[in-house]
Amino acid sequence: MAGIGSLLHRSCRLLMAGLLAGCATSPTGRQQFMLVTPDAAVEIAEAAYMDTMQQLARHGKLMNDPRLAERMARITGRLAAVAVEEYPHTARWEWSVALVDDATVLNAWAMAGGRMAIFRGLIEKLRLSDDEIAHIMGHEIAHTVANHHAERMSMALAQNLAVSVVRQNTEENSQAAPIAHTVATVALTLPNSRSGEEEADNLGMRMATRAGYDPRAAVTLWQKMAQHGGSRPPEFLSTHPDPASRIAALSALVDDVQHLRPVVPPPPRGVRIYAER
């Protein structure tokens, strides 16, 4: 694939530059361990996301659903508008959502820099309302604005996981799987800390409410998550804390955030939707 060498070189440089970083503070005031800077995480995520989009398109895994595309653009656009108002630096982000055509997977995720994805199965099997989608995407956006992806990458580096894979990929030029794969795996599969999940729940609910969505939908969303699949909960829950405790915590927040809901929702910010063309 053209550009792999430069991608590997740039990714390695960004990862090593992150070693110059130190501690940071999350939007809620929590101290964060940072070896990878938030800016480096955003740049690495761009390469990872674009590579993922190419793979999804190549395998016919992007949805052909104009109505859902419009729906997701409106919902995430309103969330992005709130995020940019609260965190002005996110105005530089390439806000985007991939619509993944897989009815068997109940999942959604985000990478650093406002790059997101949602799976058909999550929307259809749980029969999600706009308000519930807003809360699940608000939760994911909250992870990005709180720099949880950079935090997880930093933990991986501290354990010498990412560094060893970078060395292996650099030496194996014959196949040279892009370093973006490594970064995406680190960013999406390592679980957040309990405090990180609590931050995402709190910040995500506030953003979704400020975007004009019903905060009570955060509770019904997690109730659906917990109820679906019996002994096999949705993949989205695989790296998340116990749903019962989360539902209780979210229920307690509803009254606290109701006043944030505007009479007139904010106009959506432009969000790129990746779907089958």
Q: 67-109 pLDDT, tens per residue?
A: 999 999 999 999 999 999 999 999 999 999 999 999 998 999 9
For residue 33, the cross-strand partners are: 23
With H, G, I as helix, E, B as strand and everything else as coil, classify residue 7.
helix
The string of DSSP letters for 145-202 reads HTTHHHHHHHHHHHTTHHHHHHHHHHH-TTT---HHHHHHHHHHHSPPPHHHHHHHHH
The pTM of the full predicted model, rounded to 2 decimals, is 0.77
**Selection from 125, 107, 124 nearest residue 116 by Cα:** 107
Domain residue ranges in the chain: 4-274
Task: List % helix, strand, coil for the chain (3-state, nearest 5).
Answer: 60, 10, 30
The whole-number pLDDT of residue 30 equals 65
The whole-number pLDDT of residue 1 equals 41
- Report how far apart, in Å, the C-alpha atoms of 72 and of each of 16, 79, 109, 165 are: 36, 10, 14, 35
Single-letter residue type at 161: L
The whole-number pLDDT of residue 150 equals 78
The CA distance from 276 to 57, in Å, is 7
pLDDT at residue 36 greater than cutoff 70:
yes
Single-letter residue type at 13: R
The whole-number pLDDT of residue 12 equals 52
| Mean pLDDT of all residues in 38-47 | 86
